[in-house]
Amino acid sequence: MENITITDFAAEGKALARVDDMVVFVPWAVPGDVCDLQVRRKKHSFMEAEIACLHTPSPLRIKPFCQHFGVCGGCKWQQLPYEEQLKMKQQQVYDQLTRIGKVALPEFRPILGSVKTREYRNKLDFGCANKRWLTSEELKDEQIEKDVPAIGFHITGAFDKILPIEKCWLMDDVQNQIRNEICNYAIRQNISFFDLRQQVGLLRDVIIRNSNTGELMVIIQFHYDEEDDEQKAQELLQHVADTFPQITSLMYLNNQKCNDTIGDQEILTFKGNDHIYETMEELRFKVGPKSFYQTNTEQAYHLYCVAREFAFGSPLTLEGQGEAPLVYDLYTGTGTIANFVAKKARKVIGIEYVPEAIEDAKVNSQENHIDNTLFFAGDMKDILTDDFIAEHGRPDVIITDPPRAGMHPDVVKTILKAAPQRIVYVSCNPATQARDLQELDSDYQVVAVQPVDMFPHTPHVENVVLLNKR
């Protein structure tokens, strides 16, 4: 299709055009581009295509700063100025809440842009593979060696292929140095890289975390096959420790499962501590190898400030005048929000499905000498019963921060039954948030909406909504 004008952005960071009443989704494009499109997939109501020739670049288009842009799927909006990214995200939240939620909405607050737009992440996870991903051009080049191992990111739609990453801009540059040195050392020492299809190979995965206290954690995931694999792993770990003395927590594991998740694995400490610390205001949060912590530390602070403002801002009339409110924090995770708001609450009760996360939440309260929190592990609808509320008190405020899938319908029913005066809904997926707002609309009115950008150069956006009881 020739001389097609890209008109708008769509879901998942793709752009779109309309050709003969057919919607065409195009990755890596910018509204205003005029280009030839090569159709790759055709359905009854839409097509998917890629740019075959860019005739006239959009006035909005800028040069991406990353050499891996267009192949790595992590930062799909690098070709768009950050100010335009924020406009698109604000519009995305508005469209999803209005089209899906279909509830009365106040005027939205302007989106909070990220403090940093590069090196903003505190955690990156790199896969290892015995065969690197090759572009179509590289496959045709007979001079390029094909079966080369790599450490980098999984290619979208090719679970067993890894794009070798030379430089990622999302985290402090030390992660590039560590990852590249591990890869080079393993190749020099003939250490095998993992084959996901065959489930063999020693070097499997590398996780790097840093913190705003200056600490650095590295977790190397191995898969022991041969008798001498453990010795090879120890030698690699020692090389990393010697080369990067700034690492404060060097950890490893032998994962014999089919997948790379580490939540159910024993993680051993090779050097230093088994944790690092993050700070937020006067609080310190202990982060272990399995702990969840928002990956954009500085922006997480602004997100939680919004949640705290919504939870405790006036007017909030309590039965006991002058008494601090009782807060339930649903999907509390490691209790970051619960501990962050505890100072303003009479008590905070955190509920989370993952028992290990609840143990972290308790530790974080102890670390910060917070004595007005209680944490419970289990299914939300099983814990938040009439008997539970009778024992611990009816919540004045519920803060909920569910996963991307949103809240289970039974949880929504439970919230309606608990009948708090206000609900603060923190969401990483405004589409499922909009669906849940519709279910809450019978008893609650949306009174404030605050989008927050946690992930520059991606289409992802967080959104915080305040609901008051009608």
Q: Distance between CA 51 and CA 79 in Å, rounded?
A: 14
| Residue 107, φ and ψ in degrees, nearest 5 | -65, 130
Burial level of 82, CB count in 10 A (0-12/13-18/19+)? middle
- CA of 244: how far to CAs of 140, 179, 220, 248, in Å? 38, 11, 14, 10
DSSP states of 275-344 as a string? -EEEEETTEEEEE-TT----SSHHHHHHHHHHHHHHHHPSP---SSTTPPPEEEEET-TTTHHHHHHGGG
- CA of 76: how far to CAs of 26, 153, 219, 404, 456, in Å? 12, 14, 27, 19, 10
- CA of 10: how far to CAs of 14, 30, 129, 194, in Å? 5, 11, 32, 36
Which contiguous run of DSSP H or E holds residue 180? helix 174-188
What is the chain's alpha carbon radius of gyration, rounded to the nearest angstrom?
24
Catalytic residue among 35, 66, 75, 428: 428
- In angstroms, how far is CA 38 from the centroid of its own chain? 32
Q: Distance between CA 270 and CA 253 in Å, rounded?
A: 10
Annotation says 72 is catalytic: no
Strands 422-427 and 268-272: unpaired
**Spatial contact of 6 and 32, defined as CB atoms under 8 Å apart:** yes
**CA atoms within 13 A of residue 313's CA, in its CB half-sphere:** 13
**Spatial contact of 19 and 39, defined as CB atoms under 8 Å apart:** no
Structure tokens at 289: 């190898």
Instruction: List residues with catalytic annotation.
Output: 428
